[in-house]
Amino acid sequence: MRAPDGPRSWTARVREAAEGALPPEKLLPDRQPAYVASWVYVFGVTTLAALIVLVASGTVLSLEGPDWWHTSAVGHFFNSVHFWGVQMFFFAMVVHLWGKFLMGAWRGRRRATWVVGALTLLVAIGTGLTGYVLQQNFASQWISTQAKDGFNAVGIGAFFNVLNLGQMLTLHVLLMPAAVVLLTILHLLQVRHRGVVPPFDAADEHLGPEEAER
């Protein structure tokens, strides 16, 4: 609706678009379709929980610099939490991915949700690698000197140098986790916007008339 005193502001347009795409009852619903009743649905939120553990433990590790965990028992403990968090994150994410694949979860205008989720996995793998190569131990020496050949073979190594500790540190601590978090937020908003994909061959009476594309 146009305000009587002139054209709608950009702010009003953004607010109206956001409200239209994600009204509060869609953003945080307290009911779900009856078919959302399987353990496989738990792994999406488990991935999110593991991501929060990774960001929190990584934040603690970043407070005193990258070699702190080698010289402090407290630092080593938080490194261990980070390490097991990584394992849990990828385990939950891969199970979530397989679950969504087996559901054909991209049906019904949900293709972009799949694409963003898949990109999140890829960026997370890259983030994991940058973490492995900045450990400043034997594993990081070995992994970085091996991984360089893959990146170099396709010309990426000239720009993404896994042997450069400083570059890997900034990528791992800021840029790549930020990308994972932003992609995750986008993915969650997409899921809430479209809702959970219905079963194949859902009863016709359980499906309303198709809405116009938004």
Partner 1 sequence: MSWRTDDAAASRPWIGPTRPYDLVKEFAIALLVVVLLTVLLAALFSSPDEPQITLSHWAQQAPKDFVTTALAELDGTSDTATYGPPYVAIPGAGQKIGPLNLQQLGGVRIPVDTAHDFVLGPLSTVAASDPSLASAIQRWRTASSDQQRSWADAFGTALEEGSVSGERIDVPSSDNGPVLPIMQAELRLAASGGLEGAMLSRHAFYGTDYTQPLLFLADGSYLGSLADRQHLLGDQWGMMNESGSYPGQTWLWLYTLWYQVPPFSTSDNADALVWGLMLLLTAGFVLLPFIPGLRSLPRRFGAYRLIWRDYYRSTGHGDGPGSAWEGTQGKE
Which 141-180 positions form the footprint of partner 1 (CB under 8 A)? 141-142, 144-146, 149-150, 152-159, 161, 163-167, 169
- Of the candidate spans 8-16, 17-25, 81-89, 174-182, the one that interacts with partner 1 by CB under 8 A turns out to be 81-89
Total site size for partner 1, rule CB under 8 A: 99
Nearer to partner 1, 1 or 34 (CB): 34
Shortest distance, position 73 Cβ to partner 1, whole Å: 10
Judged by CB under 8 A, does residue 24 bind partner 1? no
CB 135 within 8 A of CB 209: no
Report residue 119 CA to chain centroid gap: 8
The residue written with tokens 């070995």 in the block is 142
Separation between Cα atoms, residue 41 and residue 135, nearest integer Å: 34
Give the residue, chosen from 84, 126, 179, 186, that forms a contact with partner 1 under the rule CB under 8 A. 84
Number of other CB atoms surrounding residue 69 within 10 Å:
22
Nearer to partner 1, 63 or 203 (CB): 203
Report residue 67 CA to chain centroid gap: 27
Binding mask 32-71 for partner 1 (x = CB under 8 A): xxxxxxx-x-x--xx-xxx-xx---x-----------xx-
Nearer to partner 1, 1 or 154 (CB): 154
**Three-state DSSP class for residue 1:** coil
Name residues whose C-beta falls within 8 Å of residue 22's C-beta, 6 or more positions apart in sequence. 189, 192, 193
Shortest distance, position 50 Cβ to partner 1, whole Å: 5
**Three-state DSSP class for residue 67:** coil
Shortest distance, position 80 Cβ to partner 1, whole Å: 3
178-207 residues near partner 1, rule: CB under 8 A:
195, 197-203, 205-207
Separation between Cα atoms, residue 100 and residue 79, nearest integer Å: 31
101-140 residues near partner 1, rule: CB under 8 A:
101-104, 106-111, 114-115, 118-119, 122, 125, 128-129, 132, 135-140
Report in angstroms the alpha-carbon separations of 175 from 13, 69, 127, 159, 170.
30, 22, 9, 15, 7
